[in-house]
Amino acid sequence: MDRQILVTRSSMPGFDEYCAEIKKLWDSHWLTNMGVEHEILQRELEAFLQCPHVVLYTNGHLALENMIAAMQFPKGSEVITTPFTFASTTHAIVRNGLVPVFCDVNDHDYTMDTEKIEALITEKTVAIIPVHVYGNMCDVERIKEIADKHNLKVIYDAAHAFAVKYKGISSANFGDASMFSFHATKVFHTIEGGAVCFLDDSLVNTLNDMKNFGIRGPERVVFAGGNAKMNEFQAAMGICNLRHLKNEIGKRKRVAERYWQHLEGIKGIKLCKPQKDVESNYAYFPVVFDGYAANRDEVFVKLGENGITARKYFFPLTNNFECYREYPTAGAEKTPVAAFLASHVLTLPMFADLAMEDVDRICNIIIGCGK
Protein backbone atom coordinates (compact mmCIF):
# COMPACT_ATOMS: atom_id res chain seq x y z
CA MET A 1 0.00 0.00 0.00
CA ASP A 2 1.15 3.56 -0.68
CA ARG A 3 2.19 5.83 2.13
CA GLN A 4 -0.59 6.92 4.50
CA ILE A 5 -1.90 10.45 4.02
CA LEU A 6 -3.85 11.84 6.92
CA VAL A 7 -6.48 14.55 6.54
CA THR A 8 -4.28 17.01 8.38
CA ARG A 9 -0.80 17.27 9.83
CA SER A 10 0.16 19.81 12.47
CA SER A 11 2.58 22.54 11.42
CA MET A 12 5.62 22.70 13.64
CA PRO A 13 8.49 25.15 13.95
CA GLY A 14 12.04 23.83 13.73
CA PHE A 15 13.01 21.84 16.83
CA ASP A 16 15.86 24.24 17.59
CA GLU A 17 13.60 27.24 17.19
CA TYR A 18 11.13 25.91 19.75
CA CYS A 19 13.95 24.93 22.12
CA ALA A 20 15.36 28.46 21.95
CA GLU A 21 11.93 29.85 22.81
CA ILE A 22 11.37 27.57 25.81
CA LYS A 23 14.95 27.95 27.07
CA LYS A 24 13.74 30.99 29.03
CA LEU A 25 11.42 28.75 30.99
CA TRP A 26 14.37 26.77 32.35
CA ASP A 27 15.86 30.04 33.48
CA SER A 28 12.72 31.43 35.10
CA HIS A 29 10.93 28.22 36.23
CA TRP A 30 7.72 30.14 35.47
CA LEU A 31 5.61 27.63 33.52
CA THR A 32 2.07 28.99 33.56
CA ASN A 33 -0.11 31.73 35.09
CA MET A 34 0.32 34.50 32.55
CA GLY A 35 4.12 34.41 32.23
CA VAL A 36 6.30 36.19 29.71
CA GLU A 37 5.48 33.90 26.77
CA HIS A 38 1.76 34.36 27.41
CA GLU A 39 2.28 38.13 27.50
CA ILE A 40 4.29 38.18 24.27
CA LEU A 41 1.82 35.97 22.38
CA GLN A 42 -1.13 38.02 23.55
CA ARG A 43 0.45 41.27 22.32
CA GLU A 44 1.49 39.69 19.04
CA LEU A 45 -2.01 38.37 18.43
CA GLU A 46 -3.62 41.70 19.27
CA ALA A 47 -1.42 43.24 16.58
CA PHE A 48 -1.84 40.39 14.09
CA LEU A 49 -5.61 40.19 14.49
CA GLN A 50 -5.95 43.98 14.67
CA CYS A 51 -8.08 43.62 17.76
CA PRO A 52 -7.78 45.63 21.01
CA HIS A 53 -8.48 42.66 23.31
CA VAL A 54 -7.29 39.09 22.99
CA VAL A 55 -7.72 36.82 26.01
CA LEU A 56 -5.78 33.56 25.69
CA TYR A 57 -7.18 30.21 26.77
CA THR A 58 -6.03 26.65 27.20
CA ASN A 59 -8.37 25.67 24.38
CA GLY A 60 -10.92 27.23 22.07
CA HIS A 61 -13.91 25.50 23.58
CA LEU A 62 -13.46 27.02 27.03
CA ALA A 63 -12.83 30.40 25.40
CA LEU A 64 -16.25 30.17 23.74
CA GLU A 65 -17.96 28.79 26.83
CA ASN A 66 -16.56 31.62 28.98
CA MET A 67 -17.39 34.29 26.43
CA ILE A 68 -21.01 33.17 26.37
CA ALA A 69 -21.05 33.09 30.20
CA ALA A 70 -19.59 36.60 30.33
CA MET A 71 -22.68 37.89 28.52
CA GLN A 72 -24.82 36.78 31.50
CA PHE A 73 -27.89 35.73 29.56
CA PRO A 74 -30.84 34.51 31.65
CA LYS A 75 -30.91 30.69 31.88
CA GLY A 76 -33.22 29.13 29.31
CA SER A 77 -32.68 31.92 26.78
CA GLU A 78 -32.49 30.95 23.13
CA VAL A 79 -29.39 31.22 20.97
CA ILE A 80 -29.57 30.93 17.20
CA THR A 81 -26.73 28.84 15.81
CA THR A 82 -26.09 26.28 13.07
CA PRO A 83 -25.79 22.50 13.32
CA PHE A 84 -23.13 22.37 10.58
CA THR A 85 -20.24 22.68 13.00
CA PHE A 86 -18.04 20.87 15.48
CA ALA A 87 -19.67 19.61 18.71
CA SER A 88 -18.03 22.45 20.64
CA THR A 89 -20.27 25.24 19.33
CA THR A 90 -23.55 23.66 20.39
CA HIS A 91 -22.11 22.22 23.60
CA ALA A 92 -20.86 25.67 24.66
CA ILE A 93 -24.41 27.02 24.39
CA VAL A 94 -26.01 24.10 26.21
CA ARG A 95 -23.38 23.96 28.94
CA ASN A 96 -24.30 27.58 29.73
CA GLY A 97 -27.91 26.58 30.37
CA LEU A 98 -29.11 28.11 27.11
CA VAL A 99 -31.23 26.58 24.35
CA PRO A 100 -29.73 26.16 20.87
CA VAL A 101 -32.10 27.04 18.04
CA PHE A 102 -30.75 25.63 14.79
CA CYS A 103 -30.69 27.79 11.70
CA ASP A 104 -29.94 26.17 8.35
CA VAL A 105 -26.83 27.01 6.32
CA ASN A 106 -26.71 28.25 2.74
CA ASP A 107 -25.61 26.04 -0.15
CA HIS A 108 -22.72 28.17 -1.45
CA ASP A 109 -20.37 28.82 1.48
CA TYR A 110 -22.08 26.61 4.11
CA THR A 111 -22.35 29.41 6.70
CA MET A 112 -25.59 30.46 8.41
CA ASP A 113 -28.39 31.26 5.94
CA THR A 114 -29.22 34.84 6.88
CA GLU A 115 -32.58 34.60 5.09
CA LYS A 116 -33.70 32.07 7.69
CA ILE A 117 -32.58 33.81 10.89
CA GLU A 118 -35.46 36.20 11.55
CA ALA A 119 -38.13 33.50 11.45
CA LEU A 120 -36.38 31.82 14.37
CA ILE A 121 -36.29 34.89 16.63
CA THR A 122 -38.66 34.81 19.62
CA GLU A 123 -38.95 36.95 22.77
CA LYS A 124 -36.49 34.52 24.40
CA THR A 125 -33.75 34.98 21.79
CA VAL A 126 -30.66 36.68 23.18
CA ALA A 127 -27.83 35.93 20.76
CA ILE A 128 -26.65 34.55 17.43
CA ILE A 129 -23.62 32.24 17.36
CA PRO A 130 -22.70 31.69 13.71
CA VAL A 131 -19.68 29.71 12.51
CA HIS A 132 -17.13 30.79 9.89
CA VAL A 133 -17.18 27.22 8.52
CA TYR A 134 -14.01 26.01 6.73
CA GLY A 135 -12.68 29.57 7.10
CA ASN A 136 -15.52 30.95 4.96
CA MET A 137 -16.73 34.22 6.41
CA CYS A 138 -20.38 34.45 7.40
CA ASP A 139 -22.41 37.30 5.94
CA VAL A 140 -21.21 39.55 8.76
CA GLU A 141 -22.96 42.65 7.43
CA ARG A 142 -26.42 41.07 7.21
CA ILE A 143 -25.98 39.37 10.58
CA LYS A 144 -25.10 42.73 12.14
CA GLU A 145 -28.24 44.32 10.66
CA ILE A 146 -30.45 41.56 12.06
CA ALA A 147 -28.72 41.60 15.46
CA ASP A 148 -28.98 45.39 15.74
CA LYS A 149 -32.64 45.37 14.75
CA HIS A 150 -33.55 42.75 17.36
CA ASN A 151 -31.02 43.79 20.00
CA LEU A 152 -29.12 40.48 19.96
CA LYS A 153 -25.48 39.74 20.78
CA VAL A 154 -23.32 38.07 18.14
CA ILE A 155 -20.46 35.74 19.04
CA TYR A 156 -18.63 34.18 16.12
CA ASP A 157 -17.18 30.71 16.30
CA ALA A 158 -14.12 31.70 14.28
CA ALA A 159 -12.22 28.49 15.11
CA HIS A 160 -11.61 27.95 11.38
CA ALA A 161 -11.03 31.56 10.44
CA PHE A 162 -7.69 32.59 11.93
CA ALA A 163 -5.89 35.05 9.60
CA VAL A 164 -8.94 35.38 7.35
CA LYS A 165 -9.85 38.90 6.28
CA TYR A 166 -13.05 40.38 4.89
CA LYS A 167 -12.60 43.60 2.88
CA GLY A 168 -9.17 43.86 4.48
CA ILE A 169 -10.59 43.62 8.02
CA SER A 170 -9.46 40.79 10.29
CA SER A 171 -12.07 38.14 11.09
CA ALA A 172 -11.55 39.00 14.78
CA ASN A 173 -13.40 42.28 14.39
CA PHE A 174 -16.98 41.25 13.71
CA GLY A 175 -19.82 40.80 16.15
CA ASP A 176 -19.46 41.34 19.89
CA ALA A 177 -16.74 38.71 20.11
CA SER A 178 -14.99 35.98 18.16
CA MET A 179 -13.50 32.72 19.39
CA PHE A 180 -10.42 31.21 17.77
CA SER A 181 -9.17 27.69 18.35
CA PHE A 182 -5.44 27.06 18.39
CA HIS A 183 -5.82 23.29 18.46
CA ALA A 184 -3.01 21.29 16.83
CA THR A 185 -5.15 20.66 13.73
CA LYS A 186 -5.90 24.31 13.04
CA VAL A 187 -4.07 26.62 10.61
CA PHE A 188 -2.35 28.35 13.54
CA HIS A 189 -1.90 26.39 16.75
CA THR A 190 -0.46 26.38 20.27
CA ILE A 191 -0.75 22.53 20.60
CA GLU A 192 -4.04 23.05 22.45
CA GLY A 193 -5.21 26.59 22.86
CA GLY A 194 -7.64 29.30 21.95
CA ALA A 195 -8.64 32.89 22.42
CA VAL A 196 -11.54 35.27 22.51
CA CYS A 197 -11.26 38.62 20.76
CA PHE A 198 -13.51 41.61 21.36
CA LEU A 199 -13.71 45.39 21.56
CA ASP A 200 -15.53 45.96 24.85
CA ASP A 201 -13.01 47.03 27.55
CA SER A 202 -15.37 45.99 30.35
CA LEU A 203 -15.09 42.31 29.39
CA VAL A 204 -11.33 42.05 29.94
CA ASN A 205 -11.45 41.59 33.72
CA THR A 206 -14.46 39.29 33.54
CA LEU A 207 -12.78 36.90 31.11
CA ASN A 208 -9.47 36.95 32.95
CA ASP A 209 -11.36 36.16 36.18
CA MET A 210 -13.25 33.33 34.51
CA LYS A 211 -10.11 31.59 33.33
CA ASN A 212 -8.24 31.94 36.64
CA PHE A 213 -10.60 31.13 39.54
CA GLY A 214 -11.75 34.73 39.80
CA ILE A 215 -8.44 35.65 41.42
CA ARG A 216 -7.95 39.40 40.99
CA GLY A 217 -4.98 39.80 43.36
CA PRO A 218 -2.96 37.92 45.98
CA GLU A 219 -5.69 38.38 48.58
CA ARG A 220 -8.71 39.03 46.41
CA VAL A 221 -11.12 36.57 44.81
CA VAL A 222 -14.04 38.31 43.13
CA PHE A 223 -15.72 35.56 41.16
CA ALA A 224 -16.25 31.78 41.22
CA GLY A 225 -14.20 31.24 38.08
CA GLY A 226 -12.80 28.02 36.69
CA ASN A 227 -9.35 27.32 35.31
CA ALA A 228 -8.65 27.66 31.61
CA LYS A 229 -5.28 29.37 31.42
CA MET A 230 -2.85 28.94 28.53
CA ASN A 231 0.51 27.70 29.79
CA GLU A 232 3.97 28.92 28.75
CA PHE A 233 4.80 25.95 26.52
CA GLN A 234 1.62 26.50 24.57
CA ALA A 235 2.32 30.22 24.22
CA ALA A 236 5.92 29.50 23.11
CA MET A 237 4.60 27.18 20.38
CA GLY A 238 2.26 29.96 19.27
CA ILE A 239 5.05 32.55 19.14
CA CYS A 240 7.12 30.23 16.92
CA ASN A 241 4.22 29.21 14.69
CA LEU A 242 3.13 32.80 14.15
CA ARG A 243 6.52 33.55 12.57
CA HIS A 244 5.87 30.98 9.85
CA LEU A 245 2.15 31.49 9.37
CA LYS A 246 2.30 33.48 6.16
CA ASN A 247 4.51 30.89 4.54
CA GLU A 248 2.27 28.05 5.76
CA ILE A 249 -0.84 29.69 4.34
CA GLY A 250 0.99 30.24 1.04
CA LYS A 251 1.75 26.52 0.87
CA ARG A 252 -1.87 25.64 1.67
CA LYS A 253 -2.94 27.92 -1.16
CA ARG A 254 -0.80 25.93 -3.59
CA VAL A 255 -2.42 22.70 -2.42
CA ALA A 256 -5.87 24.22 -2.92
CA GLU A 257 -4.95 25.41 -6.40
CA ARG A 258 -3.72 21.92 -7.33
CA TYR A 259 -7.01 20.40 -6.17
CA TRP A 260 -8.90 22.93 -8.28
CA GLN A 261 -6.80 22.07 -11.35
CA HIS A 262 -7.76 18.42 -11.06
CA LEU A 263 -11.33 18.56 -9.82
CA GLU A 264 -12.86 21.71 -11.31
CA GLY A 265 -15.57 21.14 -13.88
CA ILE A 266 -16.11 17.44 -13.19
CA LYS A 267 -19.80 16.63 -13.33
CA GLY A 268 -21.20 15.89 -9.89
CA ILE A 269 -18.23 17.33 -8.00
CA LYS A 270 -18.85 20.68 -6.38
CA LEU A 271 -15.97 22.74 -5.01
CA CYS A 272 -16.39 25.65 -2.63
CA LYS A 273 -15.75 28.86 -4.59
CA PRO A 274 -13.48 31.53 -3.11
CA GLN A 275 -15.62 34.22 -1.47
CA LYS A 276 -15.73 37.73 -2.84
CA ASP A 277 -13.66 40.26 -0.81
CA VAL A 278 -12.30 37.49 1.43
CA GLU A 279 -8.63 36.69 1.97
CA SER A 280 -8.70 32.97 2.77
CA ASN A 281 -6.53 30.86 5.07
CA TYR A 282 -7.15 27.63 3.08
CA ALA A 283 -8.04 25.82 6.29
CA TYR A 284 -9.99 22.96 4.67
CA PHE A 285 -10.76 21.61 1.23
CA PRO A 286 -14.41 20.55 1.19
CA VAL A 287 -15.81 18.68 -1.83
CA VAL A 288 -19.52 17.97 -2.28
CA PHE A 289 -20.45 14.85 -4.28
CA ASP A 290 -23.83 15.60 -5.78
CA GLY A 291 -24.81 13.48 -8.74
CA TYR A 292 -21.29 12.08 -9.14
CA ALA A 293 -20.89 8.51 -10.43
CA ALA A 294 -19.80 7.47 -6.91
CA ASN A 295 -21.41 8.75 -3.75
CA ARG A 296 -19.61 10.39 -0.83
CA ASP A 297 -19.34 7.24 1.23
CA GLU A 298 -17.97 5.23 -1.69
CA VAL A 299 -15.28 7.84 -2.33
CA PHE A 300 -14.49 7.92 1.40
CA VAL A 301 -14.01 4.12 1.46
CA LYS A 302 -11.95 4.08 -1.74
CA LEU A 303 -9.59 6.75 -0.42
CA GLY A 304 -9.31 4.81 2.84
CA GLU A 305 -8.36 1.62 0.95
CA ASN A 306 -5.52 3.62 -0.56
CA GLY A 307 -4.25 4.86 2.79
CA ILE A 308 -5.81 8.30 2.46
CA THR A 309 -7.95 9.72 5.23
CA ALA A 310 -10.61 12.18 4.17
CA ARG A 311 -13.14 13.39 6.71
CA LYS A 312 -16.94 13.52 6.80
CA TYR A 313 -16.78 17.01 8.25
CA PHE A 314 -19.40 17.74 9.53
CA PHE A 315 -21.27 14.51 10.00
CA PRO A 316 -23.38 13.96 12.00
CA LEU A 317 -24.94 17.40 12.39
CA THR A 318 -25.03 18.58 15.98
CA ASN A 319 -28.84 18.74 15.88
CA ASN A 320 -28.77 14.98 15.29
CA PHE A 321 -26.51 14.15 18.24
CA GLU A 322 -28.13 11.64 20.57
CA CYS A 323 -27.47 13.95 23.52
CA TYR A 324 -29.78 16.54 21.95
CA ARG A 325 -32.57 14.15 20.98
CA GLU A 326 -34.87 15.50 23.70
CA TYR A 327 -34.48 19.11 22.57
CA PRO A 328 -37.58 20.48 20.85
CA THR A 329 -35.31 22.20 18.34
CA ALA A 330 -33.37 19.02 17.44
CA GLY A 331 -33.69 17.08 14.20
CA ALA A 332 -31.67 17.40 11.00
CA GLU A 333 -34.87 17.47 8.91
CA LYS A 334 -35.41 21.06 10.12
CA THR A 335 -32.14 22.12 8.47
CA PRO A 336 -32.33 20.44 5.04
CA VAL A 337 -29.35 22.15 3.41
CA ALA A 338 -27.09 21.24 6.32
CA ALA A 339 -28.52 17.70 6.27
CA PHE A 340 -27.72 17.40 2.56
CA LEU A 341 -24.17 18.65 3.08
CA ALA A 342 -23.57 16.34 6.03
CA SER A 343 -24.31 13.34 3.82
CA HIS A 344 -22.54 14.57 0.66
CA VAL A 345 -19.40 16.40 1.78
CA LEU A 346 -15.84 15.22 2.33
CA THR A 347 -12.93 17.37 3.40
CA LEU A 348 -9.81 16.22 1.59
CA PRO A 349 -6.32 16.14 3.11
CA MET A 350 -5.13 19.73 3.52
CA PHE A 351 -1.93 20.87 5.20
CA ALA A 352 1.02 23.02 4.28
CA ASP A 353 3.46 20.18 3.59
CA LEU A 354 1.10 18.05 1.53
CA ALA A 355 3.15 17.12 -1.55
CA MET A 356 1.83 17.94 -5.01
CA GLU A 357 2.30 14.27 -6.02
CA ASP A 358 0.04 13.30 -3.13
CA VAL A 359 -2.63 15.76 -4.24
CA ASP A 360 -2.35 14.24 -7.72
CA ARG A 361 -2.72 10.74 -6.31
CA ILE A 362 -5.75 11.72 -4.19
CA CYS A 363 -7.45 13.32 -7.18
CA ASN A 364 -6.71 10.38 -9.47
CA ILE A 365 -8.42 8.04 -7.01
CA ILE A 366 -11.46 10.34 -6.80
CA ILE A 367 -11.61 10.59 -10.58
CA GLY A 368 -11.18 6.81 -10.82
CA CYS A 369 -14.27 6.38 -8.61
CA GLY A 370 -16.31 8.11 -11.32
CA LYS A 371 -15.29 5.69 -14.07
Ligand X SMILES: *Cc1c(COP(=O)(O)O)cnc(C)c1O
The residues of the shown chain that bind ligand X, judged by CB under 6 A, are 59-61, 85-86, 88-89, 131, 157, 159-160, 181, 183, 194
Q: What angle do CA 311, 132, 288 make, to 5 degrees?
A: 40
Nearer to ligand X, 183 or 344 (CB): 183
- For 309, phi and psi rounded to 5 degrees? -95, 115
Cβ atoms of 349 and 252 within 8 Å: the answer is no
- CB nearer to ligand X: give 61 or 344: 61
Nearer to ligand X, 104 or 361 (CB): 104
In whole angstroms, how close is the CB of 324 to ligand X at the nearest point? 16
**In whole angstroms, how large is the CA radius of gyration of the chain?**
21
Give me the least distance between CB of 291 and ligand X, in Å please. Answer: 28
Of 88 and 208, CB closest to ligand X: 88
Using alpha carbons, select from 133, 180, 173 the residue that is nearest to residue 154: 173
126/161 with CB nearer ligand X: 161
Q: Which residue's CB comes closest to ligand X?
A: 60
User: Closest separation between CB of residue 355 and ligand X, Å?
Assistant: 25
Name which of 292 and 351 has its Cβ closer to ligand X: 351
Read off the amino acid at residue 144: K
Q: Is 234 exposed, middle or buried (0-12, 13-18, 19+ CB in 10 A)?
A: buried
Least Å from the CB of residue 157 to ligand X: 5
How far apart are CB 347 and ligand X at their closest, in Å?
A: 11
Q: How far is the CB of 43 from ligand X (least distance, A)?
A: 21
Neighbours of 328 (CB within 10 A): 7
Residue 208 CA: distances (Å) to CA of 72, 74, 102: 15, 22, 30
